[in-house]
Amino acid sequence: MEGKNSFYNDNKLNIKKLMKSGVLSSFLSALVAVLLGLIFGFVIMLIALPANALIGFKHIILGGLKRIGDVFYYATPILMTGLSVGFANKMGLFNIGASGQYTMGMYFALYVGFMWDLPDGIHWVVACLAGFVGGMLWGAIPGIFKAFLNVNEVITSIMFNYIGMYLVDMFIQGNSAMYVSDKTRTQYLPAEVQMPSLGIPNSNVHLGIILAILIGILLYIVLQKTTFGYELKATGFNRFASEYAGMKGKRNIILTMAIAGGLSGLGGAFGILAPSGIAGSSMTYEPINIIAPAGFNGIAVALLGNSHPIGIIFSAIFISYIQRGGTLASLAGYKPEIIDIVIAVIIYFSAFTSLILEFISKLFGKGRKNKKTLVDNEIKEAE
């Protein structure tokens, strides 16, 4: 009898502990969002082309497995922009300017790649660092506006997406060492500026993904373990309390936006410095006045990952995975846009995190209540 009671209690405590830690619950809610999104996607596929729905859906679910190298390759830039958006979000800032920072980082990396003459081993490293600096600059400016003039960072960073993109396009088109005007693209980068490939066949996956994951873990440590992370989160939760406690709010806003920008910029560097499978060529940039989509994908990645650096690592890989599957679904006659719809739905549902969380805790709550009355009854019987 007594043994039974303690069993229930232990059980209760464990679930509670996990729920309290928040990790399990955010993971579960992301999972529910993913499942709902997939179901919804399947329904759309059924409507669009009923005969091939099953085979197409199988491509979406399992297709990524066949191209695992590409999954990680395409995950690299959106992981970086996701970390960027998520990191700023921890401080209560919405960095919608990841695209501009990404483009700036890419340009800085390209500039170092073409214009600087550096030894082979370190050329790509310096180019990456330059990308980080370029993104930082583009993130810090909205941060400065926010800190000193209280201009909403959403507005400035949207504007900086355009300013950054047009500036970069202008600079590139005006630089004959970088630009091939009849092909409307940049020159091929020399091989020593390209990131070291991981050597997975049929894929351009490179060292960037490993660096990106390491950076994600590093951010997690910064947020959880350091005084800077403590200040940053406190400011995000309650700006007034952080001011009351004497934290340097303005410095922290600028620093956070600069780091967030740097992360996106590094993403841009990783994107453009990726190695090419064909010898003598490289990734190129086309200055055709289009905002880099990687920035907006980063918002989706950060949302699905609940702004948690480790969550973002998984959500970036997942989104890349399902995108690879989506391109394969075209083999079954589906437009690749269908996968964009599925991803949109997943993000849509993950925005309902709180609702889903409530739903989950209700499920658990009921279970707990039943157990409690059970225990109570037993106690009553014993009496």
Give me the residues that bind other proteins (CB under 8 A), please. 20, 225-228, 230, 233-234, 237-238, 240-248, 365, 368-369, 372
Measured CA to CA in angstroms, residue 179 lies from 164, 165, 278 at distances of 18, 16, 20
* Cβ 233 to other proteins shortest distance, Å: 8
Nearer to other proteins, 164 or 236 (CB): 236
Nearer to other proteins, 149 or 240 (CB): 240
Q: Six-digit token pair at 256?
A: 């956070």
Q: Six-digit token pair at 236?
A: 């995000």
Nearer to other proteins, 240 or 278 (CB): 240
* Cβ 243 to other proteins shortest distance, Å: 7
Q: Six-digit token pair at 187?
A: 């020159």
Nearer to other proteins, 99 or 252 (CB): 252
* Cβ 261 to other proteins shortest distance, Å: 22
Nearer to other proteins, 120 or 358 (CB): 358
Dihedral angle over CA of 60, 61, 67, 70, nearest 10 = 70
* Cβ 307 to other proteins shortest distance, Å: 13
- For residue 181, the tally of other CB atoms under 10 A from its CB is 8
* Cβ 212 to other proteins shortest distance, Å: 23
Token match 């480790």: residue?
310
Nearer to other proteins, 212 or 247 (CB): 247
- Rounded CA-CA distance 122/120 in Å is 6
| Cβ contact 84:212 at 8 Å | no
* Cβ 13 to other proteins shortest distance, Å: 10
Nearer to other proteins, 215 or 339 (CB): 215
Could you tell me the maximum CA-CA distance found in the chain, to the nearest angstrom?
91
Token match 């955010």: residue?
26
Instruction: Kindly give the interhelix angle for 23-48 and 337-350, rounded to the nearest 10 degrees.
Output: 150
| Cβ contact 122:252 at 8 Å | no
* Cβ 210 to other proteins shortest distance, Å: 24
Beta strand 179-180 pairing with 185-186 = antiparallel
